[in-house]
Amino acid sequence: MTPTRPDNEAAPGPAGECPAPPRTGHWQLCAEFDSAEALHHAVLQVRDAGAREYEVCSPVLTHESLEAHMPRAGSRLHYISAFGGITGVSVGLAMCVLSSLLYGLWTGGKPPVNLVPFVVVGFECTILFAALFTVAGLVYFARLKPLAPPPDYRPGFSNDRYGLYVQCEPARKPAVAELLRAAGATEVIDCDAA
Amino acid sequence: MDPEFIARWLPWLRRILGTSGALLGVAGVAVLVGMRLHPGPTQPIPFSHRLHAELKGISCLFCHSEVDRSAHPGMPPVEKCLLCHNVIIPEFEPIQVLHQAKREGKGVPWNRVNVVPDFVFFNHQIHVARGFDCGQCHGDIRNMDRVKQEHRFTMGFCVDCHKANQGPTNCQACHR
Amino acid sequence: MATAEKETVIYAKINEEVIQSLERPTWRYWLLIGSLLGVIGLGALAYFYQVMVGMGVANINHPVGWGVYIVNFVFWVGIAHSGTLISAILYLFRVRWRTAIYRAAEAMTVFAVMTAGLFPLIHLGRVWVMYWLLPYPNTRHLWPNFKSPLVWDVVAVTTYFTVSFLFFYLGLIPDIAAVRDRSTGLRRQIYGALALGWQNRYEQWRHYARAYVALACLATPLVISVHSVVSWDFAMSILPGWHTTIFPPYFVAGAIHSGLAMVITLLVPIRVWLRLQRLVTLEHFENMAKMLIFTGLIMTYSYATEAFTSYYSGNHFETSFSTWRATGTYAPLFWGMVVCNCLAPMLLFWKRVRTSIPWLLAISIAINIGMWLERFVLIVTSTAHDFLPSSWGTYTPSPVEIIITIASFAWFAFLFLLFAKHLPAVAISEMKEQVAE
């Protein structure tokens, strides 16, 4: 649990850096908003108040303008895709070359290792592995598992509500809740009670 | 899924999967052991290759006389059996089956032991001509009473030997 | 969509509109499902008859070894292509109108590949050894021949199915979560499991966005490669009519042509049935119609080029084959194909035609028929009329083949019906995103 910093020097990490996100269920307050602007405004307020860890829920893909104000930005998933692609092309070509060397039935006067036709298999394997690695990476990074969302999740977040989760010291809860309300939250929920 | 839902159904899922997995495993092992231990198909006459080929030292070619000049090894006609068995234990009950077959003008309905898939054209003649012993494919027939198929004639079995002995490995050699 | 309203109000409306289409189905739905299952059962019976009796019950024989089964395979793989075009390529090009229809198009892709994948197996004489096609160390000491276009085809279609399924499912995750949050009881448990615990969190969205773009980038070259590989099944041989370099682009264009027509054919009834008229509008149909004109023109150009190449080659076999194709036994099919694929889409040049749903439906069905005929003409005529006059012959599908073909359409419709009733047929979160922009 990261305590709320009193000062404002808790600058978010540089864009692109993504350490593991805090475990869910570790939020103290959850505020509901009814527009993206209100949410954006509240995020700025919370950040300026010195919060280091906060999380946003949105029924749509979060807007790029918000990313700059979040603790973590971007994603490294594409490296995993690229790694998958390289694995794929290696596996595809290796499968063709090794299998025709090890199990070579020399037929039709053709050389056993013939790269031109193997390019097709190599290409398809590149795509296949890259896609599988991407999805596996997403499952890992976004912590996807076939379980119900935690109790402090609000069903409105998949419909028409925006949410802002904040970590803070228990003592500061009322003050932060007040700040959230002032920033335009339609509702503020105590996550520990949810 | 909600945790209560999972807690309610997970034991059942475990039970079902566990039971069916165990059953499948046991069945699989039983099939494999059975295939290994199976003594080969029963025959209308309990003919013993050990007695004829090992103890009495009769050549394979005496009975399977077409093996060096035909695709098929040739099963001996009833007359060839009776050549000896007219005088050797003619009253033995299984030999009576031969007499019966002779009287009816039929062959003995032997059951097939060695199976090669129908899309493989195997020719005994060339293999015998190249000097391969029957045992290379058929196993130690001389010491079998009831004959069983020693090797499964998978393509790997054929191709390994073809490669080791510079046999043809083009598709057309066996698949036509 | 009215812009005066606050965006979250529109969000709620979109949510409501899509999720209402998943309400408890009526008896009509069950009747439809039942009759489709009946037709599929009939096809299964025909197929088991073929397995029991042998390939003789299909009319494929010398000289035409590739009949209706392969025609159906190429047809269904082709249908699959426009789904990825709409979902991936148009996404990368930031085409806004794709949003309302891409989910249905993607579902169509997945189900069309699932239909297509059956046909190589149906075409196999010994289906029980179909695992011989898989690359694994085996007792045959023989691996698939990676130099063969048929093996490329297995690799390409398997990859295509996997990637388009992943793409389809990835898009569905936030929407299934939306359905989960609106349902109770067992439904909630099932959608909850399918939604993979999606919470609409920023920490999820930022990786999700990257994954979606990555998959779109991967699917784009894939979609072009798959039908190229399918075309090499033919173009790599030496038969007149098959052995030509125009095949890959020609097949890809044809695939998209047929796929777009199929999207229209499916969306017209679905949008009325699910009451999605406010989300899937006439504008979407008009845009697809415009793309149909484009692909129709490519098809016309390809047909012309094909004829011209064979004439200009001066090769006697090529010229006589092209002449026979246009005038011989299969001439009615050939000209039917030209009318359906080249002339019918030209009617869409008139705005009156392309903004009229009945016309659009009629034309898209005509294109579907035309594209099926094209595959039939391509595949059957070349083998029926090769180099040696002594080996010329003809082919007509047998009852078993016809029943299996009809059943394949029922199978496709069955899967699509299940999708439309049980999964959000319009991309909820992306529709909202478009409102937000």
Could you tell me the pLDDT band of residue C362, with boundaries at 50, 70 and 90?
Answer: very high
Going from N- to C-terminal start, the domains of chain B cover 1-37, 49-75+110-174
The domain in which residue A179 lies consists of 29-74+149-193
Do A86 and A137 belong to one domain? yes
Q: Tell me if A59 is assigned to some domain.
A: yes
Of the listed ranges A2-16, B98-112, C100-114, C221-235, the least confidently predicted one is A2-16
A94/A133 same-domain check? yes
pLDDT tens digits, one per residue of C130-161? 888 888 888 888 888 888 899 999 999 999 99
Pair (A88, A136) in one structural domain: yes
Q: In this predicted structure, what is the pLDDT of residue A112?
A: 82
Where does a domain end: A102, A123, A141?
A141
Residue A33 and residue A85 share a domain:
no
Cα separation, C328 vs C423, in Å, equals 48
Using CB atoms, pick whichever of B1, B159, B170 lies closest to residue A107: B170
Domain count, chain A: 2
Residue A9 lies in a domain: no
Is residue A97 a part of any domain in this protein? yes
Which CATH number fits the domain that encloses residue A174?
3.30.70
| Residue-range domains of chain C with CATH | 7-436 (1.20.1630.10)
Residue A35: predicted pLDDT: 86
Q: Is residue A24 part of a domain?
A: no
Q: Which residues contact C231 (CB under 8 A, 6 or more apart)?
A: C247, C248, C250, C251, C252
Lowest mean pLDDT among A39-53, A133-147, C354-368, C398-412: A39-53
Give pLDDT, residue A6: 38
State yes or no: pLDDT of A8 exceeds 50: no
pLDDT score for B107: 85
Look at residues C255, C258, C284 and name the one whose alpha carbon lies nearest to residue C270.
C284
Q: B159 and C138 in contact by Cβ < 8 A?
A: no
Chain C CB contacts of B1 below 8 Å: 189, 192-193
Q: Are residues A98 and A184 in the same domain?
A: no
pLDDT of amino acid A12: 43
Is residue A1 a part of any domain in this protein? no
Asked whether residue C39 carries a pLDDT value surpassing 90, the answer given is yes
* DSSP H or E stretch at residue A31: strand A29-33
Q: Answer yes or no: is A49 within a domain.
A: yes
User: Number of A:C CB contacts under 8 A?
Assistant: 202
Is C74 a residue whose pLDDT tops 80? yes
User: What per-residue confidence (pLDDT) applies to B28?
Assistant: 95
Cα A53 to chain centroid, rounded: 15
Distance CA C384, CA C416 (A): 35
Contact of A149 with chain C, judged by CB distance below 8 Å, is answered with yes
A33 and A55 in a single domain? The answer is yes
* The two three-digit tokens of residue C300, written as one number: 């016309």
Interface test with C, best of A138, A161, A186 (most C CBs within 10 A): A138
At A112-160, the pLDDT tens digits run: 888 888 999 999 999 999 999 999 999 999 889 888 888 888 888 888 8
pLDDT at position C248, please?
A: 93
Q: What does the pLDDT look like over A59-89, one tens digit per residue? A: 888 777 788 888 888 889 999 999 999 999 9
**pLDDT at residue A107, rounded to an integer:** 66
C196 vs A: CB within 8 A: yes
Q: What is the pLDDT of residues C48-73, one digit of tens each?
A: 999 999 999 999 988 999 999 999 99
Chain B residues whose CB is inside 8 A of the A106 CB are 169
Q: Using the predicted structure, report yes or no on whether residue B92 has a pLDDT greater than 80.
A: yes
- Average pLDDT of the residues in B88-104: 89
User: Does A161 touch chain C if contact means CB atoms closer than 8 Å?
Assistant: yes
pLDDT, tens digit (0-9, with 9 covering 90-100), for C78-130: 999 888 888 888 889 888 888 889 999 999 999 999 999 999 999 998 899 88
Residue B109 preceded by cis peptide, ω within 30: no
B154/C contact by beta carbon, under 8 A = yes
Between the two ends of chain A, the Cα-to-Cα distance in Å is: 18
Average pLDDT, chain C: 91
Flag whether residue C192 sits within 8 Å of chain B, measured between CB atoms: yes
The model's pLDDT over C192-237, given as tens digits with 9 standing for 90+, comes to 999 998 999 888 999 999 999 999 999 999 999 999 999 999 999 9
Average pLDDT, chain A: 81
What pLDDT was estimated at residue A3? 41
Q: Which of A121, A141, A161 is the last residue of a domain?
A: A141
Put simply, the answer to whether C203 touches A72 (Cβ < 8 Å) is: yes
Whole-number Å distance between alpha carbons of A136 and A149: 20
Q: What is the ipTM of this complex?
A: 0.92
Q: Based on the fold, state whether residues A126 and A171 are members of the same structural domain.
A: no
